[in-house]
Structure 1
Amino acid sequence: MRSFPLVVLMGSLLATSAANAADAQDWLLKLQSAEQQKSFHGTFVYERDGSFSTHGIWHEVDAGGAVKERLLQLDGPPYEVLRTNGKTDCATGTLVEQSSEAGQSWLTRTLDPQQLSQWYDLRDAGESRVAGRNAVVLALVPRDQHRYGFELHLDRETALPLKSLLINEDGHVLERFQFTDFVPQEAGDGAASKASGDCKPVQVSQSEVLPDNAWRSDWVPPGFTLNSILQRRSPASSEPVACMLYGDGITQFSVFLEPLRGARFDDARSQLGPTVAVSRHMPTAEGEVMVTVVGEIPLGTAERIALSIRPGEAQSLQ
């Protein structure tokens, strides 16, 4: 049997790994453009913390390039949301308040494969079949313990996501999104703009940009940068609440800071599926402030971030 020098074998493995990563990066770029350019409708299942729900979606790109989406929950209460370019136009029931509090949602992640490859090992993980359609499977494996992994099943024809899994460090699925029916369209038929009469307009509270010396974090996980720092009135207390939004290119978390004005609240930590919330008291020269970290990050990471928040010079925005 012919033997091969170790350096040759290692070189071959590295070349295969590099080609695999390059394929994964190409598919991420295709995904980025597909959600901004292609119309479709379908039905998907959403699972979190052992709870399932079924939803209809209409996603349309109009002649002017605007992206409109209508989401309708098909089991239980018929919750409905209508969005244009990621901004909520109307919602039903309790979603009205939730959408108002959340403010302007973002349509899709601005995926930068080169940036993501610093914090995730990008892999072409093979092929699958979802909703009767052929898909390529991408794995985004975190390079540290401060973020979760992703498994994306992208439609081979359109590069749109047919299935996605959010996976923790133990390999457990924290969140599942999966189409059961998916129909791509050349052009939308206007269904994404046709909300029911129960879909109420959402009024987003006005925000103001905070000064640079408002708040800072002494520690955030590597790769996360400060994207915005704003202030708006709390719908519960009318107190001014500061919000610092951080992201690593695919994952986000928010830090909320609300003056307590003598109110009594206990420190708390909770997790629902992939979403954690950690709250703690922080003394300042103006009185106690409640610091709350919310995001799809590990609980220990959120706790460390909450402990690192200080009054003072804020980070430069990215």
Structure 2
Amino acid sequence: MSVSECKTPWGRALALSFCVVSASQFSLQVEASSSDATSSFSGACSDLVSQNAPEDVEQWLERSIYASHCYTFQARAVSIDTLGVRTLALSHRIHEGVRQQVVQHLDGPSVSVERRSQAGQLAWFESSADSSPSSPDKWISHVARFYDIALEDEARVAGRPAVQLSFVPHDEQRYHHEWWIDKETGLLLKHVLSDPQDRVLETFQMTQLQSPEPYRGKISAEIPYALPEPEWQVAWLPDGFIDQPIESSDGGVEQRFFSDGLASVSIFATPVVHTSLESGIHQIGISSAAIEFVTVGDQRWQLIGIGELPSSQLLRIVQSVEFK
């Protein structure tokens, strides 16, 4: 089975669970930055190999963001969560500024998930007059407002020297993240997600990184997506979650997408025609799903929230949806 485009909220949720490395490295399909910022990003890709090794948290975070957009590679990895243990084959290619990420499941039924996005597109955060809202420094500044970030210099993953970054949230409204970043390339080698009680929810780890090469081509300043404007709004979100531009949905499904820089939440609204899912909390790999129903006039709507947040927070988000 090949999953290249997901037409339903559940299909997109499964793709989210499958594309572990994509989620961890912020391959968000969001609005690109200004042409000046994008040109700078392109230059950073070509100069990545010659740069000096990062010396602090901020430099390692910036290096990891550039690396996730600038390197082509093949890899083997394992993902461990409530669904079990999965062995994955990862491929990341860049052609004419477009990233192609493929995750293949090597256990059980043949499943392949493919995502394409413009290189250089980052999460959308608050802007100022003198900088792009999509710049790496804006992302770092935003994440640091909601997480304490600690650096441990000596680590080793998949036989490669690495540094460990720990993101401890300031509140219990979000999860604890740990990253292990390859010293040579800046690529993410390992990601552990834990709940407020320090229980490990998900572990993603590369077991072999093959042929990483920096991309030396140009990165376009194309702006493909915009903020959605559905007939409803989310009235409550945890602090720091910001509305993200996304690709237009189809098939009658309306979507909003939010991120605090590490965690993400998608809200889907679908008219109920025939069958529907049961209301309540569901678990899909590392993501929880909250389902609620609301009637507006003669139309009944099914609301689905999917994200890497405690289930109580996700349910509160879904229950706050208001139709215009």
Of residues 46, 55, 60, the one that matches 2:88 is 55
Of all paired residues, the percent bearing the same amino acid is: 27
Q: CA deviation at 1:128?
A: 1.4
Of residues 57, 60, 63, the one that matches 1:27 is 60
Q: CA deviation at 1:121?
A: 0.9
Match of 1:67 in 2: 99
Q: CA deviation at 1:231?
A: 6.4
CA contact (8 A) 1:150 1:166 kept: yes
Match of 2:185 in 1: 158
5 Å matches for 1:132-211? Answer: 132-186=159-213, 211=229
Q: Secondary structure at the match of 2:282?
A: strand
Match of 1:81 in 2: 113
* Structure of larger gyration radius: 1
Distance 1:230 1:217, change over 3 A: farther
| Structure 2 residue 305 is matched with structure 1 residue 278 | no
CA distance in 1, matches of 2:89, 2:173: 33
Match of 2:257 in 1: 245
CA contact (8 A) 1:261 1:287 kept: no
| Structure 2 residue 54 is matched with structure 1 residue 41 | no
Deviations 1:219-276 (A, max 9, x none): 1111011224776444xxxxx2211111112211111112225867642211234311
Match of 1:102 in 2: none
5 Å matches for 1:300-311? Answer: 300-311=312-323
Q: CA deviation at 1:117?
A: 0.4
Q: Secondary structure at the match of 1:169?
A: coil
Q: Flag the structure with more relative contact order, 1 or 2, with Cα contacts below 8 A and sequence separation at least 6.
A: 2
Of residues 220, 245, 255, the one that matches 2:237 is 220
Distance 1:285 1:82, change over 3 A: closer
Q: Secondary structure at the match of 2:110?
A: coil
CA contact (8 A) 2:97 2:118 kept: no
Q: What residue identity is the alignment partner of 1:296?
A: E
CA distance in 1, matches of 2:81, 2:249: 30
CA contact (8 A) 2:227 2:244 kept: no
Aligned residues: 248
Gaps of 5+ in 1: 1-21, 88-105, 189-206, 235-239, 313-318
CA distance in 1, matches of 2:174, 2:291: 19
Distance 1:241 1:38, change over 3 A: closer
Q: CA deviation at 1:155?
A: 0.5
5 Å matches for 1:97-112? Answer: 112=139
Q: CA deviation at 1:217?
A: 1.8
Distance 1:244 1:126, change over 3 A: same
Distance 1:83 1:264, change over 3 A: closer
Gaps of 5+ in 2: 1-54, 124-133, 216-224
CA contact (8 A) 1:59 1:70 kept: yes
Match of 1:122 in 2: 149
CA distance in 2, matches of 1:241, 1:124: 41
Q: CA deviation at 1:156?
A: 0.7
**What TM-score, normalized to structure 2?**
0.68
Q: What residue identity is the alignment partner of 1:128?
A: A
